[in-house]
């Protein structure tokens, strides 16, 4: 490294000791001019060159935009500009690009360095490659979503087992009748009635199996799916469990059908978590009011709102948002407190959000997703 050149590039500002400290930093360090509209690199340290593949000669004199690309978070860049314009400290993370075009996750801060007259002379930025950290975080999230899916599968198996008892016993009775009829004189009309009964029951069981098989499929994040179909299929699977618990479900979907981008099965996992939570809340206390869960949708300009409202008494926690935290549960050893945490993560992956409020005698969850008006 030629210290004299760097000192000359920056002018008078860096003494030998500061320069040594910057050069030996494990994090990348950048200094740009203080021109907010068009900042120019005047110094980058060795860690920056190692992180990005750019040499000092490549980068000094260029605008930091050189590091941006298609996956750069431009909301974060807008926030950065706001901070730079007002001379405030900035801290954020985004995706940047190396000299060879490969993307990396970066966490960075920027501090303005003021000249005597109060004008910004330089911006100093410390940067850290957090690609590995992000990847680990992503894998950890995947694992949690997967674990939660296993729990949902257990929940659904239970519900299906319940649901099948009734048609299985109807089929068994019909078969017994047919067996007895074989020994005696066959009553053809009665036999036909029994056979159509069996066909009807197996059709119903088949629908449940198809819905369950669909739920078992691995998540495909880059598809879109029909909202009403997702609601229908999940209700098919839990219908019996809900009716055993005397819970009525009503749906007021605003339009015939709405297409949602993301994994249908992960979205069903969201619905299942909300439904089982409402069921648990109903069962936690005795109430004389009719138990009801209402689904409603509202398609706004740029987004779709899905509201799931119950009359199970409302959320007991304060602040109410605590319920979305990992491990928060009021169900003692009956709950792990992971359900709503996963719900939030899944919706975030779909660029959506969820909020909760207590309404008259119950809780209301509002899911907001980007609107895709085309029908599936
Ligand atoms: N519809 C609801 N009505 C009342 N309280 C609710 C409702 N939904 C969630 N809660 C509260 O939020 C808490 C957190 O819910 P969450 O689904 O994250 O965990 P859990 O249901 O307790 O456990 P798990 O889902 O892991 O089995 C619940 O323990 C309950 O106190
Ligand atoms: Mg739960």
59 close to ligand 1 (CB < 6 Angstrom): no
339 close to ligand 1 (CB < 6 Angstrom): yes
Q: For residue 97, what are its two tokens?
A: 């690009």
**For strand 247-252 and strand 291-299, is the pairing parallel, antiparallel, or unpaired?**
parallel
CA 362 → CA 245, 246, 276, 282, 314, distances in Å?
17, 16, 15, 10, 4
Lowest mean pLDDT among 3-17, 36-50, 83-97, 151-165: 3-17
Average pLDDT on 332-346 reads 90
CB 124 within 8 A of CB 31: yes
CA 239, 241, 246, 250 torsion-angle sign: negative
320 close to ligand 1 (CB < 6 Angstrom): no
Distance 141 CA to ligand 2 centre (A): 17
Query: What CATH number matches the domain at 136-370, 3.30.565.10, 3.30.2290.10, 1.10.3470.10, 3.40.50.1260?
Result: 3.30.565.10
- The answer to whether residue 256 scores a pLDDT higher than 70 is no
What are the start-end ranges of the H helices in the chain? 3-10, 16-23, 46-52, 56-59, 74-85, 131-183, 188-216, 227-244, 264-284, 339-349
Report how far residue 82's alpha carbon sits from residue 295's, in angstroms, rounded to the nearest whole number.
40
pTM of the model: 0.73
Q: Which has the closest alpha carbon to 277: 360, 356, 212, 359?
A: 356
CATH 3.30.450.20 fits domain 3-129? yes
347 close to ligand 1 (CB < 6 Angstrom): no
Report how far residue 105's alpha carbon sits from residue 71's, in angstroms, rounded to the nearest whole number.
10
- 112-135 per-position pLDDT tens digit: 998 878 889 899 999 999 999 999
Ligand nearest to the CA of 276: 2
Each domain of the chain, given as residue ranges in start order, spans: 3-129, 136-370
- The percent of residues in the chain predicted with pLDDT above 90, rounded, is 53
Give 138's contacts (C-beta < 8 A, 6+ positions apart).
none
Report how far residue 54's alpha carbon sits from residue 66's, in angstroms, rounded to the nearest whole number.
11
SS3 259: strand
Q: Which of 145, 245, 318, 340 has most ligand 1 atoms within 8 Å of its beta carbon, as the pocket-test mutant?
A: 340
Give 135's contacts (C-beta < 8 A, 6+ positions apart).
none
309 close to ligand 1 (CB < 6 Angstrom): no
330 close to ligand 1 (CB < 6 Angstrom): yes
Of ligand 1's listed atoms, the one at least distance from the Cα of 148 is 26
Average pLDDT on 54-77 reads 94
pLDDT confidence band for 11 (50 / 70 / 90): low
Q: Which residue has the tokens 């659904």?
A: 156
């Amino acid at each position: 490294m030629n210290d004299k050149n760097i000192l000359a590039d920056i002018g008078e500002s860096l003494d030998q000791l500061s320069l040594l400290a910057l050069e030996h930093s494990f994090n990348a360090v950048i200094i740009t001019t203080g021109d907010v509209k068009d900042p120019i690199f005047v110094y980058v340290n060795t860690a920056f060159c190692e992180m990005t593949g750019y040499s000092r000669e490549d980068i000094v004199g260029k605008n930091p935009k050189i590091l941006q690309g298609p996956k750069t978070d431009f909301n974060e860049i807008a926030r950065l500009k706001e901070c730079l314009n007002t001379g405030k400290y900035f801290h954020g993370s985004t995706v940047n690009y190396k000299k060879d075009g490969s993307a990396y996750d970066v966490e960075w801060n920027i501090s303005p360095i003021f000249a005597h007259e109060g004008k910004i002379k330089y911006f100093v930025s410390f940067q850290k490659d957090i690609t590995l950290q992000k990847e680990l975080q992503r894998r950890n999230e995947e694992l949690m979503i997967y674990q939660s899916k296993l729990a949902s599968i257990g929940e659904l198996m239970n519900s299906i087992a319940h649901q099948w008892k009734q048609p299985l016993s109807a089929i068994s009775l019909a078969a017994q009748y047919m067996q007895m009829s074989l020994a005696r004189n066959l009553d053809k009309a009665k036999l036909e009635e029994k056979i159509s009964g069996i066909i009807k029951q197996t059709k119903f069981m088949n629908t449940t199996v198809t819905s369950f098989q669909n739920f078992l499929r691995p998540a495909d994040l880059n598809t879109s799916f029909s909202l009403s179909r997702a609601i229908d299929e999940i209700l098919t699977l839990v219908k019996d469990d809900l009716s055993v618990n005397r819970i009525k479900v009503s749906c007021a979907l605003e339009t015939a059908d709405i297409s949602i981008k993301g994994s249908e099965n992960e979205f069903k996992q969201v619905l299942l978590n909300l439904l089982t939570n409402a069921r648990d809340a109903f069962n936690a206390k005795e109430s004389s009011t009719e138990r009801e869960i209402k689904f409603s949708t509202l398609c706004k300009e740029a987004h779709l709102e899905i509201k799931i409202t119950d009359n199970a008494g409302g959320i007991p926690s304060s602040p109410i948002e605590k319920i979305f935290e990992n491990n928060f549960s009021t169900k003692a050893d009956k709950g792990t407190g992971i359900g709503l945490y996963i719900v939030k993560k899944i919706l975030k992956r779909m660029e959506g959000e969820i909020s909760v409020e207590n309404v008259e005698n119950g809780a209301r969850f509002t899911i907001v997703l980007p609107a895709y008006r085309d029908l599936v």
